[in-house]
Each structure stands twice: as structure tokens, then as C-alpha cells.
Amino acid sequence: MLFHVRMDVSLPLDMPADVAAKLKANEKARFQELQQSGEWRHIWRIVGQYSNVSIFDVDSPAQLHDYLMSLPLFPYMRIDVMPLCRHPSSLHDDDR
């Protein structure tokens, strides 16, 4: 199942820089694990914001939920999820 996911990160202004740096490093490592597995298919930055738009390819909404909750920055995110399905006018059978 494909999902469009927007993640907006808002770290507390008083968070110590070393704590923020550690969280960001752990987030990057977790992201790269999911990207290498093929389940976090795409990620794009939103210009001028600490936000991204991503495409996940997972087996179920529950699996996506578990992945999102496993992100180290999850407690500091606002997340919007949109399930996607193949458009009948698409030229690509697998929409990859």
C-alpha cells in the first residue's frame, strides 16, 4: 500500500543542541534503514520548513503507524497521512 506522508518537525526552542543533534542523527539512521528496505520509497524537503513529504510502500496502515512511531523525532512531529491508489490514467503498471 502506498501512502503520502507529510512530517512537520518542531523541536522545543530550549532543547539543548547536543540532544537535538543526537535525535537528528538517530532519525537519519532509522530513515536510512527504512529506505534501504524499500518501504520508505521517497523523501523530499519542503523548502524553507523543517518538513518533508515522503512516500511509503508498506503492507498495511498498522505497519506505517508502527514505522512512524519508531522515528526518534516522532514526539516532535505533526504528521498527515494520505493513502494512495493507482490512477487509471497512469502509464505505469506498478506506479514506481
Cell of 58: 508498506
Beta-bridge partners for 5:
54, 81
- Which strands sit side by side in the sheet containing 51-57, from one edge to the other? 40-45, 51-57, 2-9, 77-84
Residues 6+ apart with CB under 8 A from 73: 7, 9, 11, 23, 24, 27
Domain count, the chain: 1
What are the pLDDT digits (tens) for 79-88?
999 999 888 8
Considering the domain boundaries, does residue 89 fall inside one? no
Considering the domain boundaries, does residue 90 fall inside one? no
Question: If we measure between CA atoms, which residue out of 65, 38, 60, 40 comes closest to residue 52?
Answer: 40
Which parts of the chain sit beneath pLDDT 50?
Answer: none
What are the pLDDT digits (tens) for 50-67?
999 999 999 999 999 999
Considering the domain boundaries, does residue 93 fall inside one? no
Residue 29: per-residue pLDDT: 96
Find the domain containing 60 and state its range.
2-84
CATH number of the domain bearing residue 50: 3.30.70.1060
